[in-house]
Amino acid sequence: MALMDKHKQVKRQRLDRICEGIRPPILNGPMHPRPLVALLDGRDCTVEMPILKDVATVAFCDAQSTQEIHEKVLNEAVAALLYHTITLSRDDLEKFKSLRIIVRIGSGFDNVDIKAAAELGIAVCNVPAASVEETADTSVCLILNLYRRVTWMHQTLREGTRASSVEQIREVAAGAARIRGETLGIIGLGRVGQAVALRAKAFGFNIIFYDPYLPDGVERSLGLQRMATLQDLLIHSDCVSLHCSLNEHNHHLINDFTIKQMRQGAFLVNTSRGGLVDEKALSQALKEGRIRGAALDVHETEPFSFTSGPLKDTPNLICTPHTSWYSEQASVEAREEAAREVRRAITGRIPDSLKNCVNKEYLMASQWPTIEAATVHPELNGATYRFPPGLINVAAAGGLPGAGPGVESLVPGTLAHGIAPVSHPPHAPSPGQPTKAEADRDIPSDQ
């Protein structure tokens, strides 16, 4: 018996040495506060709180960088929830002293350095399924808009143009094209790519796709035509739609060289990630007429503005502000699933209990400690931590929208602040993420 106890002690010491320097141990037991879960770049955690309030303290930071995050969160947060408006590099991740899990509320995770996170002992998860329908519907909407030129006709009427004769109608609707028989090329046949293909078929498109990471036979099960190379797809497509995630292999997948491989007068749609498209090359191609029209929901620098950047004064271009993922239902579903993933981490084991861990293969093969809840502090749920100096109690002055009664809110004296432009890091994917990240081939972004 004594020998078994000694063996367990040695094994425990060995495990402690493995974990030493990765993350400090989480203190469990009734004498310590419950795990702290922080929503980094949002100010409303009313959806997450009902799922987590019995096992964790939930706080929000409303930050756009780690410099805006309160020291308490950096020191004590065990889990972090985030959208696409904050970036976590290795330097940012090293500021967190107790972090065990990051959950991206959405499918894209290119704003988190997942390899560095794994080396620091932090699991990174995403929510790949919540906005599949919304992103696919938006993609098809943009494709139809390019073919039928609805946006430009609307603008023409708003500017006072009247189209009463056949000749005037021809002039106003010039460029509108028939869809039936056109070839739609999809790059990245993940969840959203497949949903777009099924929808586009109903409009009479011939569908082809390129995705080197899908197993053979997928094209037959879906009744689609597979292209062996990206060049083959570009040559044969009348419209190209991007549905792959952004990684280190495909930054500026659409550039001056690949644009020249596209058919003269083809359309381009991107609802995936802004870094996939070289905006300078796209702007030049649109001005020269090599590309007939383009529709972008995502951009290299966000938030996007027509008043600056390479797309300023570019003709035949539709832009939306990274909203293809959004509907009220999808937003709530994504937040609920993200909170459930955090709950699985707290009540189970990391990474074994996680449903959508995207850096699992990078994590060390050591046994991970279980995160346990301790005493209940319901008054702390929904608290916010941001700048230490000049804090005020907003709840006493009316509170924040959606925060609910009794939510403690500690924020700077001024709440209104613009979202700083987020320049996507130069990561880049091969069209369609490797199998390990196949779930995130869609985007959303958030995103």
Give the tens place of pLDDT for each residue, 323-362.
999 999 999 999 999 999 999 999 999 999 999 999 999 9
Coil, helix or strand at residue 360: helix
Give the tens place of pLDDT for each residue, 263-289.
999 999 999 999 999 999 999 999 999
Give the tens place of pLDDT for each residue, 364-400.
544 445 555 554 444 445 555 544 443 333 333 334 4
Using DSSP, how many helices (H) and how many strands (E) does the chain show?
14, 17
Q: Cβ(315)–Cβ(285) under 8 Å?
A: no
Q: Which residue has the tokens 């937003």?
A: 331
pLDDT at 443: 41
**Cα Rg for the chain, rounded, in angstroms?**
24
The first and second tokens of residue 117, run together, are: 């996170």
Q: How far apart are CA 255 and CA 312, in angstroms?
A: 18
Catalytic residue among 322, 335, 424, 441: 322
Q: Which residue has the tokens 């056109």?
A: 182
Catalytic residue among 149, 243, 273, 343: 273
Exposure string of 76-85, with b = 16+ CB inside 10 Å and e = fewer, is bbbbbbbbbb
Q: Cβ(233)–Cβ(240) under 8 Å?
A: yes
| Residues linked to residue 102 through DSSP beta bridges, in sequence order | 80, 124
| Residues linked to residue 391 through DSSP beta bridges, in sequence order | 412
- Direct distance between the N- and C-terminal alpha carbons of the chain, in angstroms, rounded to an integer: 55
Q: Pick the range with the lowest mean pLDDT from 42-46, 93-97, 140-144, 442-446.
A: 442-446
Active site residue 70: no
Active site residue 17: no
Active site residue 322: yes
Catalytic residue among 48, 300, 302, 341: 302
How distant, in Å, are the alpha carbons of 386, 411, 412 from that of 390? 10, 8, 6
